[in-house]
Structure 1
């Protein structure tokens, strides 16, 4: 008859007990240190007083800058209005709406618009928002400061208008593809006007 009993585990060696104890002690010390560190950063009025965290609002918002942003829905509405104005004139254009940092929110490439119009519309929108001025007005600045055209991502041709909120630029609308910058800008203005409706 065979005995199929499971052998009882061996007692842990002294070395294993020491290593396990050291690991547990280190974990407890780290937790205690973290709690002490977190609490030590908040000054208290008196020893033993309850500690609390200072919020950004209490810091007077001196380290916080708030900005306004055009929503995707508003940007799409503006782009569609600009594209519609161009269609009514029989023009094939692309329309881009970019945010304050020049990031594209939406681009609509109209049926039959030239391949260059897509990038040109984005660059016009970026130029308009960067200087908070229509690109047609900025073209005149090139006469006295021709190196402006060397700034990456810009395009100093008519067709870009800024969108502002609270006196600060928040977006730019660029249109490209019509036979003149004046027409492109007229369509961009139609897009900006749609935001006021």
Structure 2
């Protein structure tokens, strides 16, 4: 297994629709193992293939809920159904999220409180998860990556201006930039 470089906003693969996985082979298994290792080293609770430069529709997740239940897996060619998103302003504390492709930044974003994820695992078995709370947020965030959407794209106008200035100030937003979990300190 290997830690992979995480692409930073501006890399074209992050802003493009990913392609369906068709080959369930050793190369896919290695990619998934490397993505888990990369996510854990970063650290993160989810990681989509486009974030490591691979334009395929898959993501990994690893999160422990309040009941100490471990949610860990890979979602290949996922489908996602969302409950209606509540109206109103997001709570800065409870609805703040970040992204490994915009490292070190966090913004409040209103998301659907409940989702249904249907996907395939590495053994080509279909599974379904009814998720709420943070697990629902993780699934929405990672699924967005597969459609070329970063969470910053969903922010309100004021927050979008702030993140755009931050991206420009750090020299991001152009192709060819990445960071290595465990080596680079981009959180500061």
Task: Indicate the TM-score class for this superposition, using the shorter chain for normalisation.
Answer: under 0.3
Normalising by structure 1, report the TM-score: 0.20
Bigger fraction of residues in strand? 2
**Larger-Rg structure:** 1
Normalising by structure 2, report the TM-score: 0.21
Q: Which has the higher contact order (CA 8 A, sep 6+)?
A: 2
